Structure 1
Amino acid sequence: MRSLRNLLFIALCASSFACAAKKDYVVTIETSHGDIVALLFDDTPEHKSNFIKLAEDGRFDSTEFQRVIKDFMIQGGDVFTKEDMPAQEWPTLPAEIRPNHYHRKGVIAAARQGDGINPERRSSGSQFYIVLGKVYDELELTTDMAKLQKAFMKYMELVSEADLKKEYTRLYNEQKYDSLTSLILSKRDELENSLNLNLRKDFTAEQIATYTTVGGTPHLDKEYTVFGEVIRGIEVAEEISKLPTQRDRPIEPVFMKVTVDKKSRKKIEKEYDYSYTDVK
């Protein structure tokens, strides 16, 4: 019995040592506005290995955050334009769209061309974006606004809804668009019952909790590959997103230098107050 306990103890020690010794890549994106530190997900291996290789080879260095939109995202890493590679030769990556990774604030995702010319949703071989987004009201988040608006316009034409149409017209003419949205949303349940429609979007309880507290860009879910997350410096990304722009490009260029450093996961958890067990 004692020998069995000793074997179990040795096995547990070996397991603990293996966990402590396991390493990961810490990504640091240096900018003139500060550093953004990130980790990349293991279950998107193509994107993780590609990003690390580009960083190790220095190919991200001197690329820009060339597209920034406040309360949405910042996008950069256009390696192939910097290297004067013909657009038709730009490499892409197979989509690694995972249901457990969604567009909450702080995640990193791969840019891509639209479905019309890219039905497989293959990712850009270099360009990425950092999600900022906004915090959503649960009613707005869980409503299919396109379907609701279409149903609302039809419903508003009923003779019995003359007052509703009058209020809608007033708000529209006064350009009170937030109030207009609230008015339309207030009729969701009534329209579902009256017209026998389903006007809702499906989100998990976790997504609802996240999007209504932390925020993000839920309309991008299931469309783009999310492959990492910022663990320090999200305020730097927010600052960059607020810079003066011309056609979404910062007037003063925001260049980046990207480095990767391999550290034990135990050290990463301690240094960045991060938990690998929380990664879904």
Structure 2
Amino acid sequence: MRYLTLLFLFLSIQHFSVAQSRKVAFKTDYGTIKVLLYDFTPQHRDLILNSIKDSIYQGALFNRIIENFVVQGGEHDIDIAKREAADPTGNKPRLAGEFDARAFHKMGALGQGRDDNPEKASFLNQIYFVVGKKVSEEDLQSLEAKKGRKFTKEQREEYLKNGGLPRLDGDYTVFGEIYEGMEVIMTISRFKTDKDDFPLSPVRFSVSVIE
């Protein structure tokens, strides 16, 4: 029975992976992180694919590292704010949020950063990986009461088993997940940082499409 259960889980994961069409690799000095992009968040999937073509994430930095929370990279919030403040047109380009129950803040999820805009629209050049922490049933019930929403069966099972950041669901767009190299992002998440969460030694990464 245990064998059949494990076989079912493996086949389910394989089916999910095949169902999604694009994969990318985040190459770092500490190893490679392979990510499956979700086809059910197509605008954010295409955003990072276009960013790769434009070399935006070539030699980029993981510039905000918070253990048990996230590893964030690309354009920093401070730099975005300065650039937009200096723009005489007041232009603040964003991508509308894409929210799907299958895309949630499990361990290893890939999300798009944003500021406090009420539309929950994403920055164009900032991503993060969920490191997260343990989640209890009480945590989920409290969030459901606070946010007026219910976690799906899949979400609940994943959070209770492996942890994550359920409080970010519905507020930040998740558009992919790590399928190989989780140990690399966990290693990076434990690097020493300054008071602003910037790593004391540069942590660079480059993104490429896996054909």
Q: Indicate whether the TM-score tops 0.5.
A: yes
Q: Which amino acid aligns with 2:123?
A: S
Distance 1:226-1:111 versus aligned 2 partners, 3 A rule: same
* Whole-angstrom distance in 2 between the partners of 1:79 and 1:261: 26
Structure in which a larger fraction of residues adopt helix: 1
Partner of 1:142: 141
Greater CA radius of gyration, 1 or 2?
Answer: 1
The answer to whether the Cα contact below 8 Å between 1:143 and 1:200 also exists between their aligned partners in 2 is no
1:99 aligns with 2:101: yes
Deviation at 1:41, TM superposition (A): 0.7
Worse-superposed segment, 212-221 or 92-101: 92-101
Q: Which amino acid aligns with 2:25?
A: T
Partner of 1:126: 125
1:227 aligns with 2:168: no
Q: Which amino acid aligns with 2:48?
A: F
Aligned runs of 1:57-76 on 2, under 5 Å? 57-76=54-73
Structure 2 unaligned regions, length at least 5:
1-17
The answer to whether the Cα contact below 8 Å between 1:63 and 1:79 also exists between their aligned partners in 2 is no
Please report the TM-score for the alignment, with normalisation by the length of structure 1.
0.60
The answer to whether the Cα contact below 8 Å between 1:62 and 1:255 also exists between their aligned partners in 2 is yes
Structure 1 unaligned regions, length at least 5:
1-20, 148-198, 263-280
Count how many residue pairs are aligned between Structure 1 and Structure 2. Answer: 187
* Whole-angstrom distance in 2 between the partners of 1:48 and 1:144: 28
1:260 aligns with 2:209: yes
Deviation at 1:138, TM superposition (A): 1.5
Deviation at 1:208, TM superposition (A): 1.7
Distance 1:90-1:35 versus aligned 2 partners, 3 A rule: farther
1:125-146 per-residue CA deviation (whole Å, 9 max, x = no partner) reads 0101111111212123322599
Distance 1:255-1:141 versus aligned 2 partners, 3 A rule: same
1:40 aligns with 2:37: yes
1:50 aligns with 2:14: no
Percent of aligned positions with the same letter in both sequences?
35
* Whole-angstrom distance in 1 between the partners of 2:93 and 2:56: 14
The answer to whether the Cα contact below 8 Å between 2:144 and 2:151 also exists between their aligned partners in 1 is no
Deviation at 1:53, TM superposition (A): 1.0
Partner of 1:24: 21
Deviation at 1:258, TM superposition (A): 0.9
* Whole-angstrom distance in 2 between the partners of 1:52 and 1:243: 28
